[in-house]
Structure 1
């Protein structure tokens, strides 16, 4: 803090409060009784409770089931996306000229295209192939929607690696798969991790497709399950229960981000200068 002075330190504190403010408010709300939240006689020193967490964790189905469903869908979607994106990104990075420019432009357009506009088409596909109420079926659109951005990110990382590495390995008799497995991918660990986490976050938080394709309560992922937590209705809004569910649902993501924070930073900056 001495390096930035008092003004810089104050700015850092304000930025932290601005960033963490919503999370801290959700945590505060999850620990307060309905009367305290509505201001009905409970002062700052009273109205604290863990009942909101008990209500969420002991619901039917239990909250851990939603977390498990989201984890399964996110993990499979991420694995499927990476399996498809890595060879595509490698091939694109080793191509040049007009073809690479056209393909990269198409991928960029697909990555920024609002997928909600494809919602009706995806719904028709789901009905045609009977994909409703199937957790594994969610992985297909999630992987498809995440693939363009994943290819672009990994392509930039591949382009940063010197071609001489592959040429030397080729002289040693390495096949293409061996070069990817033993030389290129170990050097691209941060990029692969950060790309995988972005895909996982999208799959974890996706709402419209999961809400439409899943109707059985025990199959719901976290995002659509939030709308059904604690028996919410048009007459009552369980703010405390919603806040508790939000806090619990954020803990796995927070743990992942803390665990892979170095890889995330390194992966997002990899390829930013060259490539």
Structure 2
């Protein structure tokens, strides 16, 4: 038993080091000067740690605009996707109608569709409709790919909620909408926040649509904007600034994930049925 525990612990430590080593390297790189990053074989820890990269990034108006765009587009896409997915998943889980399996299959097929195949048609359509290089021009395709995944996630949660709870609320005088809003949605809170996390991650990290459907910093998100950090020449990219931008972008994500995890735990406890 002790040997098994020792092997499990060693494997866990090995996987943890393997996963966190690139993150530690990026953080270390963000504190190095351009002269040190230009060296042939830089050491892991910076010789002379500096905050100049962070000052340069936070003083870069293009990066700040991209950060604002990423937050705005990701939050709007997440909110709309979760709202629509909640209503659609409830209908799929509770109602019997012809073509239910076809709807779920179509949703899954859309989620699996390659994003790059839509870049060309969307580029032409958005330029025709005036949506190119705008927030809606990114929010709409983001929702197209996040809605199916959110619907599948939420439908599974709604199926696990006892139908009797909603019937009991209606017997007590609640309307169907009140029973759904005050009974079903709180019980499905873990699924709602899980769908929100998945949607936000997709919108925050998406690169192909962001680089193809934007042309200025007016709506370009952070992943697309980082591709324009080219440095003074092609042979000397600003590794330190790229690493610093990655750290700055990752910190809000970590905070948001921690907040959502607490909400998930709260949803699980509030949804417990007391006998």
In the superposition, the TM-score normalised over structure 1's length comes to: 0.87
Q: Paired residue for 2:54?
A: 53
Distance 1:148 1:218 in 2: 28
Give the alignment's Cα RMSD to 1 decimal. 2.6
Deviates more, 1:133-142 or 1:20-29: 133-142
Task: Provide closer, same or farther for how the CA distance between residues 238 and 106 of structure 1 changes in structure 2, counting only shifts above 3 A.
Answer: same
Distance 1:123 1:42 in 2: 42
Q: Paired residue for 1:273?
A: none
1:217 aligns to what SS in structure 2?
A: coil
Mark the runs of 5 or more structure 2 residues left unpaired by the alignment. 269-275
- Measured against aligned partners, the alpha-carbon deviations of 1:132-188 in whole angstroms (never above 9, x if no partner) come to 221233211111221111111111110110111122122223222211110000111
Q: Paired residue for 1:272?
A: none
Mark the runs of 5 or more structure 1 residues left unpaired by the alignment. 269-275
Task: Provide closer, same or farther for how the CA distance between residues 232 and 22 of structure 1 changes in structure 2, counting only shifts above 3 A.
Answer: farther
Task: Provide closer, same or farther for how the CA distance between residues 14 and 103 of structure 1 changes in structure 2, counting only shifts above 3 A.
Answer: same
Q: CA deviation at 1:129?
A: 0.5
Q: CA deviation at 1:265?
A: 8.1
2:228 aligns to what SS in structure 1?
A: helix
Whether the 8 Å CA contact 1:194–1:263 is kept in 2: the answer is no
Task: Provide closer, same or farther for how the CA distance between residues 100 and 131 of structure 1 changes in structure 2, counting only shifts above 3 A.
Answer: same
Q: How does 1:196-275 map to 2 (within 5 A)?
A: 196-229=196-229, 231=231, 233-263=233-263
Distance 1:238 1:120 in 2: 31
Corresponding pairs, count = 266
Deviates more, 1:176-185 or 1:227-236: 227-236
In the superposition, the TM-score normalised over structure 2's length comes to: 0.87
Whether the 8 Å CA contact 1:35–1:47 is kept in 2: the answer is no
1:99 to 2:99 alignment? yes
Distance 1:53 1:166 in 2: 52
Distance 2:182 2:143 in 1: 25
- Measured against aligned partners, the alpha-carbon deviations of 1:233-270 in whole angstroms (never above 9, x if no partner) come to 424211111000011111111111122225568999xx
- Measured against aligned partners, the alpha-carbon deviations of 1:45-70 in whole angstroms (never above 9, x if no partner) come to 62432222222111233x33322211
